[in-house]
Chains A and B, each alone.
Chain A
Amino acid sequence: MTDQRDSLETATHPENLRRVVIDPVSRVEGHGKVTLLLDENDRVHQVRLHIVEFRGFEKFIQGRPYWEAPVMVQRLCGICPVSHHIAASKAMDMIVGATLTPTAEKVRRLMHYGQILQSHALHFFHLSSPDLLFGFDSDVAKRNIVGIAAAYPEIAKQGVLLRKYGQEVIRVTAGKRIHGTGSIPGGVNKNVSIEERDYLLNDIEQIVTWSQESVGIAQQLFAQNLDLYSNFGRFKSHTLNLVRADGALDLYHGGLRARDMNGDTLFDHYDYRRYWDMIFEDVKPWSYMKFPFLRSLGPETGWYRVGPLTRVTQCDFIPSPLAEEQRKTFLAFDNGKAAGATLGFHWARMIEMLHAAELIKELLHDPDLQGSDLVNTGKRQERGVGVIEAPRGTLIHHYKVDEHDQIIRCNLIVSTTHNNQAMNEAIRQVARQYIDGRKLTEGLLNHIEVAIRAFDPCLSCATHALGKMPLEIELLDVEGSMLSKLTRSAGGVFRDDLGPNVSRAMPDMVGIAHPTKTL
């Protein structure tokens, strides 16, 4: 490999290279695409994950009264509205100068753990299990949730029921299924009644058991495919996460901890209300999405990784017994290699799901949930910062409010933005390992998606996507004439539209993806 190809971020002479674009197009602005530049020998020269980041919300919220923010921000994301609801509420706690009552904090925590549980269950069982259980380049027609249901019916069912339980926790604490209003500036607007508590207690033992078994599945996948799982897309990075004052994993509140790629601490327990002292956002000409970095290390080398893998490996301990036992197993596995692996995200995610289930159980037995002291206020402030550990990683909400109670400035750094460079590093490593010098096939391209999916990115899912985002890759000759078009249909089936037979090996030509129709 030449020196120019070391980073794979920018090719020296892109004009001489073939371009392959993986571009599922959504009907709204948020989507991602991957571009690969290859030479005539199929050597990879450039790999980029482009994310059309959703920034419009920061303008959308301006001019609104601050108390609307916790409800309005739920329209930012269709998959994690609760995370935005809670992060905005924490920021508004600062605006109203409130210290939360025990009941308010515990109801919010319960809501947050419900969100962690349902999000992690959805990701592992529905989005990732087809790759993990069948193999990354297995039959694409089988590599979907229908295939999982046929081959592993109990796993598929448990995934749905775990997700449903998390949604029920959210419904109880937020007041309704969507557009919840449970969390408000300075507290919450409802407690958890005895009836609601008992309803959730009915199934919690089963949920904890299933969560424990899910960690076992993740561990088993590693053990059965040790070399693949340990080395797939592996790269070293700095890390950023919240930790409790005693160093414990805390998904709701804490101080910022950053460590370098060798595990040395850069800062610890830093007050997130001044996050901008430590984190800055860089821009790159080829991406709309910003690239956050640690100020002390600079934009070139200061990028970092957030999310379950970081949290589980960088906390000092997990304050729930079953998850802590699993954390120790994870860290010790294969002399620590799993804890540094990109696919370690899946295992860490299941440990966090178990932790969330344990905490839900613990909270349901806490009488503070039935308390009536719900809201506090204090001295009004003009600036509010709320930070939580959302399912995908650290989530920052930052608002400035004027004397008329209107929001005049908003800055959000979402988990996927924190992981922007890390995801790019992962797919570049995958390109080196699996694509460089080989004829492209659908299975090989899926390796790229597997690496991205490990991070569970949320690319502006501010709306649903009933449109099925089919994938098209058109292969053109140097004059721009189409020689082949590979299409992945809504059913996940690839076909070569220019020929009667399925051809999953892609010709050696320029590929350009075109936007495809969505419903």
Chain B
Amino acid sequence: MAKARVIITLKKTIMDAQGQTIENALHNLGYRGAQNIRMGKYVEMDLNGGPKAELEKQLDAMCRQLLANPIIEDFTFEIEEG
């Protein structure tokens, strides 16, 4: 069984209101070095059913179909074989 981790963020071209708000809050706390904060989502799962290449194909399809909305979001993932 493999462990899959997916990270979904708003596309770079889209204004991230949540990220900007978090950035302002961090600046208020004195962390002036924190820049370009992007808020995202993290999904992890156990993944069964085939060699790594097949799992990657499946996970990519999951991301495109449901986990991310390709109109506004980018995604990356990693698969760790157990």
Asked if A and B bind, the verdict is: no
